[in-house]
Amino acid sequence: MNYLDLNMELSKEDIALKEETNKFAREVMRPISIQIDQMTPEDAVAPESPFWDFMRKAYELDLHKIGMPEELGGADLTPLQQALVLEEEASGSFGLALVLNASSHAKAPFLTNNEDLIKEFTIPYCECKDATNSGSWAITEPDHGSDTLMIGHPSFQDARIDAQCRGRLDGDEWIIEGQKAGWVSAGVSANYCLLMCQVDKSMGHAGGAMFIFPLGLPGISRGKPIDKIGTRDLNQCEMFFDGLRIPKKYMLLGPEDYEIKLGEYLSRTTTTVAVYSTGLAQAAFEEALTYSRKRIQGGKPLIKHPTIQRKLFDMFIKVESSRQLSRAAFVYNRTSQKPALEYGLAAKNYASQCALEVTSSAIQIFGGIGITKDYVVEKLFRDARVTLICDGSNDIFEIVGGNLVARTYPRRR
């Protein structure tokens, strides 16, 4: 992205990292994402799909292990550097960026300080160079979506709300029964899963647990890839568990600290979506700006018309304000010992709404041709619509965020 970065403390390394990722986003991610967007969901993840070319190239560049520490074989980037890389990735493809994010849930053992599972999942993932080791995240159920993320809200602890995926301890094994809805991110392409499911019904959603395990075990089946209007380059599917038995050690955390740890996890996921949304909005702004300089209307380029200038400036404001909030929340929630979930929710809601509005304005500047597949802005618009639902609905997050602000604001460090 060729824009003025208001952070005057970016190092040469930071800038080089951003430029290298931008080059990969433009030359690899964007073309492949457009190809996949026009394929059927089944063909998009077939062995001959360009999806796998992207995955292998991303792994070769270590983009799959952003946020992992060097001692585990990770990329060892600062939180700010991580934000710079993720923003650039999403400028190439929001969906493929999400695939890499879902793939990296091997970091969960690291975040929960589980040494045994770090050796079994995190380190092999970091060492992988050919994309044969990748993850998925399963939390949404047919009757439960963002309500499973309502940290601190009374409904989160309501024992009358039945989960559709449950685990029970049987000796030294957990038995998992039930279903996860079609929104298991990267569920088709993954070989392991990070699963959130209920283990204590008396606590409602708060009685959940987090597990990590391979997907090649008996008792696991996957539905076909779902067909969507946006993020078609992010494969998603249903996942079914029929008497799945996994070792007791595969539980990362249980009901005693599930709500607190889930809140910390959401502090990271929401800011990631915020940064991705900013990259998506920046891409749409740049497409509109470039087109307005070439397109002639009324005897002069569109950009010479005051109405277009006003629209572009409005888009510019939204992109830049989104960038500042998303980066700040991203860095804080990865630096502070006490992440502030309400800032993650605020960043996610604001940046995703900005992405939708900016991509919509981009189509308006393009006019009729903007809704054809001749230009990428129609895809960016469809992808932006997904951001308002991605990793939690904005409507639900308004309730969760409002409840948090009412109970904790002003927060002290």
Query: What is the Cα–Cα distance from 237 to 300, expressed in whole angstroms?
Result: 49
pLDDT at 70 exceeding the cut of 60: yes
Write out pLDDT tens, residues 156-195: 999 999 899 999 999 999 999 999 999 999 999 999 999 9
Distance CA 365, CA 75 (A): 40
Is residue 160 within 8 A of residue 411, CB to CB? The reply is no
CATH number of 258-408: 1.20.140.10
Which one is the CATH code of 137-253: 2.40.110.10, 3.40.50.720, 3.30.2450.30, 3.40.50.850? 2.40.110.10
In sequence order, the 6+-apart residues with CB closer than 8 A to the CB of 33 are 92, 93, 95, 96, 233, 379
Q: Characterize the bridge pairing of strands 192-198 and 137-138.
A: parallel
Better pLDDT: 248 or 410: 248
| Mean predicted confidence (pLDDT) in 198-204 | 96
pLDDT per residue as tens digits for the range 306-338: 999 999 999 999 999 999 999 999 999 999 999
Percent of the chain with pLDDT strictly greater than 90 = 93
> Average pLDDT for residues 344-371, to the nearest whole number?
98
Residue of higher predicted confidence among 241 and 69: 241
Q: Residue type at 249?
A: K
**CATH 3.40.50.970 for domain 12-127:** no
Q: What mean pLDDT comes out for the span 25-31?
A: 98
What is the distance, to the nearest Å, from the Cα of residue 326 to the centroid of all Cα atoms in its chain?
A: 13
77 pLDDT higher than 90: yes
Phi–psi pair at 247, nearest 5 degrees: -60, 150
pLDDT at 75: 85
What is the per-residue DSSP string for 233-296? TS-EEEEEEEEEEEEGGGEEE-TTTHHHHHHHHHHHHHHHHHHHHHHHHHHHHHHHHHHHHH-E
Predicted pLDDT of residue 181: 97
Domain locations in the chain as residue ranges: 12-127, 137-253, 258-408
Given a cut of 90, whether residue 221 has pLDDT beyond it is yes
What's the mean pLDDT when you consider all of the chain?
A: 96
Mean pLDDT of 289-312: 97
Q: Which residues pair with 251 in a beta bridge?
A: 211
pLDDT of residue 76: 85
- Alpha carbon of 239 to those of 56, 101, 310: distances in Å? 25, 19, 47
pLDDT > 70? residue 1 = no
Residues 44-54 have pLDDT tens digits of 999 999 999 99
Say which residue the tokens 């300089």 belong to: 293
pTM: 0.97
SS3 label, residue 205: helix
Tell me the average pLDDT across 34-55.
98
- Burial class for 115, CB neighbours closer than 10 Å (0-12, 13-18, 19+): exposed
Distance CA 230, CA 377 (A): 12
User: Which tokens is 146 given?
Assistant: 């963002």
3-state secondary structure of 84: helix
Residues forming beta bridges with residue 247, ordered by sequence position: 173
- In tens, the pLDDT along 122-160 reads 999 999 999 999 999 999 999 999 999 999 899 999 999
Contact (Cβ atoms closer than 8 angstroms) between residue 241 and residue 176? yes
**pLDDT of 4:** 92
CB atoms within 10 A of CB 295: 15
- Least confident range of 44-53, 111-120, 388-397: 111-120
